[in-house]
Structure 1
């Protein structure tokens, strides 16, 4: 096989393997919520029931539904797992103990969470100065612990991750830069691990990379024209999802996350169909803007469950949105030149592109079916 044929064939194989092997991921990532009040020496921890089920078997009858009775029966085991996953210590390095105050179930945008409120007791009456979080990281490296720290009337938001599982609390309350930097990073990660968003971007960009009969004789004009087309698509998608991300994260507009995830999956399938049969029109930027509105609600699922009405939330929102854009830009800087180069290859146009559209459309419809059952 010639090299010009080997590259698109290899690309198709890698892409189809990735798509077909990928789990039907819900857009809402695995998150827990930690609310630390240093003035009151209290910490509240909320862990999704679906995540806690990975650590403590609660669904005894295997009916995919956890009742209050099943939850109560495993309370001791749940409490033990949570307390082992969170460590607080004083400035001297002495371990602080957690004394349970309240226990029950809370509700976030993606369902029910087991919630516990603890009093933090450090030796010699010291204040907690360091927090280490290790819950679920050994089961899911994409899991995040979203942490809110309150002290002296100020609030800081940050995220705990496998490579950032320990923080000095005194350093976290000195300003808003930590919040901005932390959520900028999380925005990049969220875009790059969100397979549904990545596939949607791929389908949006794909038409701008394919050679048409009209443009074959003028490659310079063709490239310029396609870059302008790409800029319009990216601008429309960015404007749309930034708008709804802000509206949702600030609590001005809220939509059920299960409904949002289902429509996101449907948007990918429709976008793939539209490449082959432009039932929604050839104005790709309009498609990007329309579906970008619903994708913004999906992005907001990371932030919307944190306490609203604080200056830190606005900073977190700005940082997260910047991170999403940086991740999107990184994908385009790598992907567009490669796809444009392949767009001149006959095998790529006639075989690889149809395989991509078929694979993306099939996986998206599977997501629609699975997510629709959660509505």
Structure 2
């Protein structure tokens, strides 16, 4: 009976891996970018073409991409949809948006439909609230990332399905503490929706959970915890460095290449557990590939423009949020895997099959993402 339960758990684990692989989220989540300049009474709204293709019936050939002809034919429909989904209002009533320019903009993850509007509020008032309602029905993880310029000062904000309004008046606009908390929360969410990052952490964790590994893996719990601490510290240090470099615009890499290499890093890490051609010092592997993962995280902040102090504050909150999400996963997963590791089936079947499944999923991602480059 005990063996049957162990095999049942193994089958459930493999099925879950197969199911979630089909709905995996890359590090670059679904985001729109809003640049609001109160001083010039202007707002620019950028929406990813891939999101427009999901929300509107413009993709005539069904390839989930918008060609130039499809985009031109759907321009009026796109602008009406955007104008209905983004509302500015003052104390008196809704403000009017008047289109000035329309075209394409480029962000780290590809082309976006971009519209520039002038803002006109009743009695010449200044808008005090932004309401955002795009794409939440299609993607509950979608976010609107906002860069706000007012009275010569800059700040950042985020709107989501649970917080669709952003206060714009001087007394109610996001303060430093609120900005930090907002991006801390976004960091946790970004970690949790990044299945590729989660699988990479799982692979890095597995050697420390094995009962024995030809004498190279510590047996005692304390030694295993120290090994895991070293791995996590190396990974955290590496992606924190590149996250900061990319978010501050010091170093930029094409996100399509970054996401492809991230997927490849999972396959290499999984292979190295079975055949340690890169050595058994897992912390070195964690540090090396952690540098690449940091560029993936940075895509959320790198496409916003704001003051350096605001960007640094958002970066700090976002990075800490990523680490909290990572720590939460480890606190939950490691004890379970450690207890499971006491069974003979774990090392003989669970770990090998998990590595094969993770490797296959990541190689599928590599092929899928490489085709988009």
TM-score bracket for this pair, using the shorter chain length:
over 0.9
| Distance change in 2, residues 1:278/1:213 (3 Å) | closer
Tell me, yes or no, if structure 1 residue 334 matches structure 2 residue 332.
yes
In structure 1, the residue matched to 2:143 is 144
The equivalent of 1:43 in structure 2 is 43
- Taking the TM superposition and a 5 Å limit, the aligned residue runs for 1:225-236 are 225-236=223-234
Contact 1:26 1:371 in 2 (8 A): no
User: 1:129 corresponds to which residue?
Assistant: 128
Residue 14 (structure 1) shift? 3.6
In the TM superposition, residue 172 of structure 1 has moved relative to its aligned partner by 5.1
1:372 maps to which residue? Answer: 370
Post-superposition CA distance 1:325-370 (Å, at most 9, x none):
0000100111111111111011222221112111100000000001
The answer to whether 1:315 aligns with 2:327 is: no
- Give the Å deviation of 1:128: 0.9
Residue 155 of structure 1 and its aligned partner are, at CA, apart by 1.1
Specify whether residues 8 and 86 from structure 1 end up closer, same or farther in structure 2 by C-alpha distance, changes over 3 A only: farther
Equivalences for residues 252-331 of structure 1 within 5 A: 252-307=250-305, 310-331=308-329
Which residue is 2:112 aligned to? Answer: 113
- What does residue 18 of structure 2 align with? 19
Shift of 1:9: 3.2
Aligned to 1:186: 186
**More displaced 10-residue stretch of structure 1: 270-279 or 120-129:** 120-129
Say which SS state the counterpart of residue 264 (structure 1) adopts. helix
Change (3 A) 1:19 1:153: farther
1:309 & 1:355 partners in 2: Cα distance?
49
Where 1:298 maps in the other structure, the secondary structure is helix
Distance 2:329 2:231 in 1: 14
Hey, what's the Cα distance between the residues in 1 that align with 2:66 and 2:162? Answer: 32
- Structure 1: gaps (5+ residues): none
1:238 equivalent in alignment to 2:236? yes
1:157 aligned residue: 156
Aligned to 1:85: 85
Distance 1:291 1:127 in 2: 47
- Does 1:345 find its partner at 2:343? yes
Task: Quote the Cα distance in structure 1 between the aligned partners of 2:214 and 2:21.
Answer: 37
* Paired residues of 1:16 and 1:359 also in contact (CA < 8 A): no
Task: Work out whether residues 20 and 363 of structure 1, in 8 Å CA contact, stay in contact via their aligned partners in 2.
Answer: no
The 3 A distance-change label for structure 1 pair 213 and 95 is closer
1:144 CA drift (Å): 0.8
Question: Does structure 2 conserve the Cα–Cα contact (< 8 Å) formed by 1:9 and 1:352?
Answer: no
Question: Following superposition of structure 1 onto structure 2, how do residues 215-230 of structure 1 map, counting pairs within 5 Å?
Answer: 222-230=220-228
Secondary structure of the 1:303 match is helix
CA contact (8 A) 1:32 1:146 kept: yes
Q: TM-score, normalised by structure 1?
A: 0.93
> How many Å separate the matches in 2 of 1:264 and 1:61?
31
Distance in 2 between residues matched to 1:141 and 1:374, nearest whole Å: 24
Report the counterpart of residue 101 of structure 1 in structure 2.
Answer: 100
Counterpart CA distance in 1 for 2:13 and 2:96 is 49
Moved more, 140-149 or 196-205: 140-149
- Mapped to 2, the partners of 1:172 and 1:182 lie a distance apart of 15
Q: What runs of 5+ residues in structure 2 fail to find an aligned partner?
A: none
Residues 243-266 of structure 1: CA distance to partner in whole angstroms, max 9, x if unpaired?
Answer: 000111111111111110010000
**For the aligned residues, what is the CA RMSD?**
2.0
